[in-house]
Amino acid sequence: MVLIIGGAYQGKLEYVKTNYPEKSIFQCEAENPYMDLSAGAINSLHLLTLAQIRTGIDAQAYLYERLPEIKDKVIICDDISCGVVPIDSETRKWREVTGRCLSMLSQSADEVVRVFCGIGRRIK
C-alpha cells in the first residue's frame, strides 16, 4: 500500500495520477460509508471516515479488516490534524478518528508520501 497524505488542495490527486497512471480512482464521499475496493486508488479517505462517524461505523475497525484487500492500493487522505481544535464534537471526533486511521495505515503501508505544493516527499 502507498499512503499519500497532505493538506487540502496540495496536489495529492494529481501526484497520484502522474505517478500511478494505471490506477483507477474511487472518490470517497461524506454520504457514503463504504469504499469500492475494485479501484486501484482510494481518494479522500477523510470523507469516508466522516461518513462512517455519521452512520456509527468504527472506521478504524473497518479499515483494519480490509488491510489484506487494500495492500495493493494507493490511499489518498487530507491531513486534517493541524490547526485550531474544532469547537463541535463531530468535527473533533472526525479529526481524531482520521488521525488514528492514518497512524494504523502508515504502519502497514510500504510507502508513505507527504505532498506539499504538488511535490511528493517520501517519509516512509
What is the reported pTM?
A: 0.93
DSSP 8-state secondary structure symbol assigned to residue 85:
P
Conformational region of residue 11, where left means phi above 0, alpha means psi within -120 to 50, and beta covers everything else? left
Residue 84 binned pLDDT confidence (cut-offs 50, 70, 90) = confident
Residue 33 binned pLDDT confidence (cut-offs 50, 70, 90) = very high
Over its C-alpha atoms, the chain yields an Rg (Å, rounded) of 14
In the predicted model, what is the mean pLDDT of residues 94-99?
95
CA–CA separation, 73 and 97 (whole Å): 21
pLDDT at 61: 97
pLDDT per position as a tens digit, 57-76? 999 999 999 999 999 999 99
CATH value of 2-122 in 3.40.50.2300, 3.40.50.300, 3.30.2000.20, 3.10.105.10: 3.40.50.300
